Amino acid sequence: MPFILALFLIKPRSVAVKRLVRRLLKWGLILGLTGVLLGVAAIAVTYWMVEPRLPTAAEIRDVRLQVPLRVYSRDGKLIAMFGETKRMPVDITEVPIMVRNAFLAVEDARFYEHPGIDWRGIVRAIWLLATTSDRRVPGGSTITQQVARNFFLSNEYSLTRKVAEIFLALRLERELSKDEILSLYLNKIFFGYRSYGIAAAAEFYYGKKLTDLDLAEAAMLASIPKFPSSGNPLNNPDRALIRRNYVLERMSEIGAITPEQMRAAQSEPSHAFPHEPAIELDAPYLAEMVRLEVIERAGADALNNGYKAFTTIDSKLQEAANAAVRDRLLAFDQRKGFRGPEARVDMSTLTTVEARRAAVGAYRSVSGLMPGLVTASDAESAAVILADGQVILLDLAAVEWARPRSESGALGPKPKDVSRALASGDVVRVARDAEGVWRLSQLPRVQAALTAIDPEDGSIRAITGGFSFTLSKFNRATQSNRQPGSSFKPFIYAAAFERGFNPASIVNDAPLAFADPSAEGGVWKPQNDNEKFLGPMRLREAMVLSRNLVSVRLLDAVGINFAREYIQRFGFPPESLPPNLSLALGTSSLPPLALARGYSVFANGGYLVDTYSVEHIEDDSGNAIYTAAPKRACRECIARVAGDENDGAASADDLSAMLNGNSAPPETAPALTVPDIASPSGLLAPRVIDERNAFLITSVMRDVVKRGTGRGAMVLERNDLAGKTGTTNNFRDAWFSGFNPALVTTVWMGHDDFSSLGDREFAAQTALPIWVDFMRVALGDVPEMELVVPNGITTARIDAAGNLLAEASEGGIVEFFKTEDLMRLSVVDENSSGKQDAEQQGIDLF
């Protein structure tokens, strides 16, 4: 071009020269025009090639960000977030001007002025791509181009992709406002550690909302997207500081801050460190249950579509469950002695504080138990350094529980000086007590599960599947099939009451023997836990004292087949119920949640409800995509009248024949009539047992709490509690299931490897305290609820042997009976003097 211009300035000296100038000028113009035409053609061809890959205007306006699934309690507390990314989308109006300016200064200072393309940068990028072998060249990409690339294009480094990026950037500028483009950018960019978007980055690195960031923090965040993995302040703090200070310089150059503000911010050290999401309620076992259900209902994409799952969990009750399980497991474990340090390290290799902190940092904090390294110990105290560098002192009172425990389980004496328990180089666990004092602790080996449900509709109000989800994701509340022991007896009694037995029936607590080739000596001899026998006794007392032999005789009397069929009404699958007399001793295999569901039938008056944990699921726009419609007991519903008639009561002749061996009990339970009637709040749950049976069993279990194996619950000073303990052979499992009309709670304690909890570790000393601690909080604001006597239940006075007393008699024991049972017994009493014999009463077993 300069040469052609020179031709115009040079005065031709001859005709030949003039012709040459004209010819050169002609060809110059032709070549120039050809170049322009070729350029336009190249652009047109390129556009034709890339246009099919460009999103439409509708697609641009329907951009969706990957947002994790959030799980909430019923009172709105965040329980968990699931998804491939940590992202909290924000509107541009929620991003402070200072934060916006930090990104604009370093990424695209002319963002609000250019049409979406920085032409000088583009030309430079094309030139470098064409003339060098380096495919990763700076391209002068504007924020609009970065949005185009991050949302709609690949990260391929090629001329074709660059051209597509240009065209798409221009289209974005036509379809969206500048603020909409900036909002997409700030919500999309990657900041390392699975954090996407400015709000998630502020939360992760500083634990702050955007409005709480200071200038240095905002500049640091703006520095990260250039090198999100290798240049963030956690992986490379020195490089991040250099980059942050550069951002501050750029902010000063464009006038976003003053030089004084720049220097003040540059002088601040980096204080970024990882902050986990702001989880408000610790319920990880429940969260995993919800995650799986959401995937089942909405597909795997639901984890990244910004869905919200609202659960049935009550945060107050969940916190109480967590505390009860944690505290009681720690107390039980410490009662078994100190197993020694988790590890020992050579202190000669850890000569600096940083090295010691790093050694401690290799161990995770678990359920409030902090790892620590003993650096020195003597008779009076031990110095322990924590992962954050804090040094604490443990005195003798802090370690007094740490009796040495041998491999055989034998306990040594309490330590008389600290150095006998702790030595330099020991890696141990420490925790603060209720007064904030540091004490020695250890990770318990024993496990527990707690589940609490509303018997009205089966909604789960609290659930804890173990000591720590971090250590074990196995949910013992729903996945662990364990033998319930004596806590299963109420179902055996319910089957017997269905066949005409009642709380005053006399059954013999005496030795039994059954032929069993699989048992030692070919004979099975069930035993009571104390290996003693109390002789003939009323069923109410047998339940209160948890007599095994009475339950076995009772099951034998009503028949195994009938009992198994009847007990399935409580929601237990048939394969979980052994087809032999051991069923009476609780040898079925059930998870705690299933047992709680079974107990809810007693608590709600005879209805089987389904347990559930998700109330509703919303999409990212707040539209409900799923709403639970639970079947409800709804005892007060008018629609119940048609479906609540009694069924299946045995006649006096049937009972007499059964007890004399002349007739076998029915092979199957009477058919159930399930009303299919809608109620205002959902479907009605089916009645599965007689309301009077539920009442009688509840009445008996209230006595278990008042004066039997569950009397430890009386510390709650309530009269509306019912429940039953359960302890299995060799003390492998400990249970307590208890309830009032408002809440059913089941607690299990044991070892995952089925080893013994220890000699004489009955449920009353292990599982019941957890139940009490939880229910103290759960029922703290709940008034006592009266046990309503249903129609068809009558009271009468009996003596200790179960004999009816005349109406005019004083004293005796007031007992509940079904009306037809009492009428039958009254007839017997009128036609006999003195005590009733077994055949007449129809329910005495010796």
Residue 409 vs residue 495, higher pLDDT: 495
Kindly report whether the global pTM for this prediction surpasses the value 0.75.
yes
Distance CA 102, CA 110 (A): 13
Domain assignment of residue 676, yes or no: yes
Residue 198 has pLDDT above 80, yes or no: yes
Q: What is the mean pLDDT of residues 555-562?
A: 96
Residues 294 and 231 reside in one and the same domain: no
CATH number for position 736: 3.40.710.10
Residues 332 and 223 reside in one and the same domain: no
Q: With bands split at pLDDT 50, 70 and 90, how would you rate the model's confidence at 53?
A: low
Residues 457 and 396 reside in one and the same domain: no
**Residue 486 annotated in active site:** yes
Helices (H), 51-134: 57-61, 97-107, 119-131
Query: 91 in helix, strand or coil?
Result: coil
Domain assignment of residue 278, yes or no: no
Sign of the C-alpha dihedral, residues 97, 98, 100, 105? positive
Distance CA 75, CA 78 (A): 9
Residue 266 has pLDDT above 80, yes or no: yes
Domain assignment of residue 470, yes or no: yes
Distance CA 568, CA 577 (A): 9
Task: Collect all residues with Cβ–Cβ distance below 8 Å to 29 and sequence separation of at least 6.
Answer: none
Q: In this structure, are residues 463 and 613 in contact, taking their beta carbons and an 8 Å threshold?
A: yes
- From the list 293, 726, 282, the residue with the least C-alpha distance to 467 is 282
Range of the domain at 665: 451-505+540-547+556-614+628-778
Residue 165 has pLDDT above 80, yes or no: no
The pLDDT value given to residue 38: 64
Residue 46's H or E segment, with its range, is: helix 15-50
Catalytic residue among 480, 486, 487, 582: 486
Residues 47 and 164 reside in one and the same domain: no
Residues 425 and 479 reside in one and the same domain: no
Residues 250 and 292 reside in one and the same domain: no
Query: Taking every pair of C-alpha atoms in the chain, what is the biggest distance, in angstroms?
Result: 158
**Residue 342 annotated in active site:** no
Residues 594 and 706 reside in one and the same domain: yes
Q: What is the mean pLDDT of residues 198-226?
A: 93
Q: Which of 444, 461, 490 is the last residue of a domain?
A: 444
The partner residues of 452 in beta bridges, in order of sequence, read 462, 745
Query: 383 in helix, strand or coil?
Result: strand
- Start-to-end Cα distance in the chain: 122
Residues 769 and 808 reside in one and the same domain: no
CATH number for position 232: 1.10.3810.10
Q: With bands split at pLDDT 50, 70 and 90, how would you rate the model's confidence at 62?
A: low
Residue 743 has pLDDT above 90, yes or no: yes
Instruction: Find the range with the poorest average confidence among 198-212, 595-609, 768-782.
Output: 198-212
Domain assignment of residue 525, yes or no: no
Total number of domains in the chain: 5
The pLDDT value given to residue 453: 98
Residue 678 has pLDDT above 70, yes or no: no
Residues 200 and 295 reside in one and the same domain: no
- From the list 545, 544, 477, 547, the residue with the least C-alpha distance to 509 is 547
The pLDDT value given to residue 653: 38
Catalytic residue among 107, 615, 618, 815: 107
How many residues are listed for the chain in this entry?
846
Task: Quickly tell me which residue has 């010796």 as its tokens.
Answer: 846
- Which pair of tokens denotes residue 315? 């945060």
The pLDDT value given to residue 652: 34
Residues 368 and 479 reside in one and the same domain: no
Most confidently modeled range among 408-412, 579-583, 840-844: 579-583
Residues 218 and 294 reside in one and the same domain: no
Domain assignment of residue 275, yes or no: no
Q: What is the mean pLDDT of residues 708-734?
A: 96
pLDDT in tens, 813-835: 899 999 998 887 754 444 444 33
Residues 252 and 323 reside in one and the same domain: no
Instruction: Find the range with the poorest average confidence among 4-8, 122-126, 203-207.
Output: 4-8
Q: With bands split at pLDDT 50, 70 and 90, how would you rate the model's confidence at 539?
A: very high
Beta strands in 357-464 (DSSP E): 370-377, 381-386, 391-395, 426-432, 438-441, 447-453, 460-464
Domain assignment of residue 835, yes or no: yes
Domain assignment of residue 191, yes or no: yes
- Cβ-in-10-Å burial (0-12, 13-18, 19+) of 594 comes to buried
Instruction: Find the range with the poorest average confidence among 56-70, 187-201, 240-254, 717-731.
Output: 56-70
Task: Quickly tell me which residue has 């006649």 as its tokens.
Answer: 651
- Cβ-in-10-Å burial (0-12, 13-18, 19+) of 338 comes to buried
Distance CA 384, CA 376 (A): 8
Sheet bearing 78-82, strands edge to edge: 78-82, 69-72, 308-311, 614-618, 624-627
Domain assignment of residue 788, yes or no: no
Q: What is the mean pLDDT of residues 272-277?
A: 82
Q: In this structure, are residues 459 and 630 in contact, taking their beta carbons and an 8 Å threshold?
A: yes
Q: With bands split at pLDDT 50, 70 and 90, how would you rate the model's confidence at 808?
A: low
